[in-house]
Amino acid sequence: MQPRHTAQVLIAGGGLVGSLLAVMLRRRGLQVTVLERRPDMRKVPIPAGRSINLALSDRGIRALKAAGVFEQVAPLLLPMYRRTMHDRQGRLSYQPYGRPDQCINSVGRGTLNKILLNQAEKAGAQIYFNCRVTGLDPAQKVIFTETGETFHYEKLLACDGAFSAIRLYLITTDRFNYSQSYLEHGYCEIHMPPNPDGSWRLAHDTLHIWPRKSFMLIALPNPDGSFTCTLFLPFEGDISFQKISTLQEAEQFVKTWFPDIIPHISDYAQQFATNIRSSLMTVRCSPWNLGEDILLLGDAAHAIVPFYGQGMNAGFEDVRLLCEWADKQGGFFTKGLFPRFAQFRQPDGHAIADLALKNFVEMRDLTADPAFLLRKQIEAWFSEKYPHLWIPQYTLVTFSHVPYRVALEAGRIQDEIMERVLRETADIATGSWDHARAEALMLEGSKRLPAADLVV
Ligand SMILES: Cc1cc2nc3c(=O)[nH]c(=O)nc-3n(C[C@H](O)[C@H](O)[C@H](O)COP(=O)(O)OP(=O)(O)OC[C@H]3O[C@@H](n4cnc5c(N)ncnc54)[C@H](O)[C@@H]3O)c2cc1C
């Protein structure tokens, strides 16, 4: 007979979101147990799977600060202030992410997760590794695991990622809405080593993009002087992973589309032909709770495609908001907390899913489009002149804490306004515009935008 454990709060999944939540809940004096399917990543290297590095931005940073762990993370961040676009001739163009002081930050997934696990344990959370959740009995409040051990809980937080076992159970319950859709594109990571002297081969204060309309390559810097490049490409079709499975095909593909990386990656053909190719999906579901005691957070609630760099940031924001709600409403065990929180937050999960899909088009296609670049220029000019009237959607998502649904709606209105501004005032061929007319249109249009004082 396997032991039966009891936990006041049980967290399924010790990934990024689960381990941050464990820290935050321990700081509130709750007894926290984490069940993690994998071995302890601090002792055993984790095989390649999800991305090696991630972009951490303001929403995630705010949550890490709220948990008191940002000091440990800050020295490991590599700030990226702009996008650097590489065309097929290797010519570069630039696009700032926001004001000169605003940046997103490259951070290693494993490094960040290890810090959070350390902090969770230090704060007193009990973590069971190699402990895969296989099912639950919500009536008895019991979790079953692969090892045969069972865990009784008072509250269960599902932070077990895009393929959540807890969510799998919820799908079988009445009136649970669920959709999962795969992108026709997958991704494949390519390692660009440092120069022999340990320095970076490309500028490291920027996110590099090679936009090629229906596909793209991006690169984020790592602290050891390397870059992790990620190729996003359809699985099938004329230009696809299917068509680059031999060394010759891969060599030709890179020579055609990304010739400027060749001097930097000696085994590029090998890597492009054989590195693991993974799929990308969007999960939407509701409600995120089952009654009073079970709540989905992070990718378990809202797995999204990675093009806005917000999946982890959104999951961290879930954690911060939940804890703030609990603090304001009388604690974690206050009746109605999970249902109310789930209802409040879920539209933002759907909004960031939409935003992420939209940003894929922007990154792979529009960053090389003169009309889009002119639009960005006009927006930046107007927003500098009237910072309280026009906050670009990217800024709302990345450098603010407004609900994602507000950023989505603001972007929709801005798109309408800018289509008119480009149509009626701009000359794309020369990159010029009628400043007075554009200003008048944008001043009028911006009355429909959400108030700037929402941005905190
Ligand atoms: C290519 C790519 C690039 C990305 N880039 C960014 C980015 O730049 N910025 C950003 O913010 N986000 C990014 N993301 C998204 C980000 O990776 C996720 O949103 C984030 O990892 C979600 O954290 P999580 O803890 O919810 O899930 P996960 O990180 O997946 O953690 C889930 C944990 O649960 C464990 N687990 C799973 N099933 C079970 C089970 N049955 N029992 C017990 N444990 C279980 C897993 O082992 C894992 O440790 C990217 C994603 C991809 C795929």
CB 109 within 8 A of CB 16: yes
Is the domain of 64 the same as that of 16? yes
- pLDDT band of residue 327 (cuts 50, 70, 90) is very high
Rounded CA separation 391/450 (Å): 9
**Mean predicted lDDT score pLDDT of the chain:** 95
Flag whether 275 is in a domain: yes
Per-residue pLDDT reduced to its tens digit, 237-250: 999 999 999 999 99
The strand pairing partners of 217, in sequence order, are: 210, 231
**Mutation probe of ligand 1 site: the residue of 187, 312, 397 with most atoms within 8 A of C-beta:** 312
**Same structural domain for residues 381 and 404?**
yes
Give per-residue pLDDT as tens, 45-54. Answer: 876 666 789 9
pLDDT score recorded for residue 4: 85
Residues 139 and 71 both lie in one domain? yes
Statement: residue 456 has pLDDT above 50: no
CATH number at residue 260: 3.30.9.30
Is there a single domain that holds both residue 152 and residue 254?
Answer: no
Percentage, residues of the chain above pLDDT 70 = 96
Name residue 114's amino acid: K
How many domains is the chain partitioned into structurally? 3
Give residue 63's pLDDT band: very low, low, confident or very high (50, 70, 90): very high
CB 250 within 8 A of CB 272: yes
C-alpha to C-alpha distance for 130 and 113, rounded to whole angstroms:
16
Q: Are residues 119 and 267 in the same domain?
A: no
In a domain, 90, yes or no: no
pLDDT over 90 (residue 67): yes
Final residue of a structural domain among 226, 248, 279:
279
Judge if 309 and 237 occupy the same domain: no
For residue 161, being part of any structural domain is answered with: yes
Separation CA 314–CA 310 (nearest Å)? 6
Q: Which residue puts its alpha carbon closest to atom 49 of ligand 1?
A: 15
pLDDT for residue 454 is more than 60: no
- Residue 455: predicted pLDDT: 54
Position 138 pLDDT exceeds 90: yes
Q: Is position 96 within any domain?
A: no
317 plus 344 within the same structural domain: yes
Co-location of 127 and 257 in the same domain? no
Q: Are residues 270 and 331 in the same domain?
A: no
- Nearest atom in ligand 1 to the alpha carbon of residue 35 is 43
Q: Identify which has the larger pLDDT, 218 or 365.
A: 218
Structural domain includes residue 102: no
**Residues 291-298: what's their mean pLDDT?**
98
Count the alpha carbons within 13 Å of 141 in the hemisphere toward its beta carbon: 16
> What value does the CA radius of gyration of the chain take, rounded to a whole number of Å?
23
Q: Mean pLDDT, to the nearest integer, of 247-275?
A: 98
Residues 161, 163, 168: CA angle, nearest 5 degrees: 115
User: How confident is the model over 122-131, as pLDDT tens digits?
Assistant: 999 999 999 9
**Boundary-marking domain end, from 237, 263, 279:** 279
Average pLDDT value for residue range 213-222: 96
Mean pLDDT value of segment 94-104 = 91
In a domain, 84, yes or no: no
H/E element, 216: strand 216-221
Among the listed residues 303, 297, 298, the one whose alpha carbon sits nearest the alpha carbon of residue 284: 303
Q: Please identify, among 337, 359, 381, the residue that sits at the C-terminal boundary of a domain.
A: 359
Check whether 344 has a pLDDT greater than 60. Answer: yes
| Cα three-residue angle 199-204-210, rounded to 5 degrees | 115
User: Of all protein residues, whose CA lies closest to atom 30 belonging to ligand 1?
Assistant: 161
Lining residues, ligand 1, CB within 6 Å = 12-18, 35-38, 50-51, 54-55, 132-133, 159-161, 165, 187, 230, 298-300, 306, 309-313, 315
Distance 71 CA to ligand 1 centre (A): 22
Can you tell me which atom of ligand 1 is nearest the CA of 162?
A: 30
What integer is the mean pLDDT of 257-268?
A: 98
CA angle 288, 53, 82 (to 5 degrees): 100
**Owning domain of residue 439:** 369-454
- 166 pLDDT exceeds 50? yes
Residue of 408, 410, 287, 407 lying closest to 345 (CA atoms): 287
**How far is residue 109's CA from residue 219's CA, in Å, rounded to a whole number?**
15
Mark whether 251 and 388 lie in a shared domain: no
What is the tens place of the pLDDT at every residue in 303-323?
Answer: 999 999 999 999 999 999 999
Residue whose Cα lies nearest atom 4 of ligand 1: it is 306
Tell me the mean pLDDT in the region 404-410.
96
**Is 91 a member of any domain?**
no
- 387 and 260 in one domain? no
Domain match, 211 and 174 both: no
Strand 82-86 relative to strand 206-211, pairing:
parallel
**CA triplet 269, 369, 376: central angle to 5 degrees?**
120
Atom 51 (ligand 1) nearest CA: 306
pLDDT in tens, 171-182: 999 999 999 999
Beta bridge partners of 206: 82
pLDDT band of residue 453 (cuts 50, 70, 90) is low
Structural domain includes residue 97: no
Output 42 or 452, whichever has higher pLDDT: 42
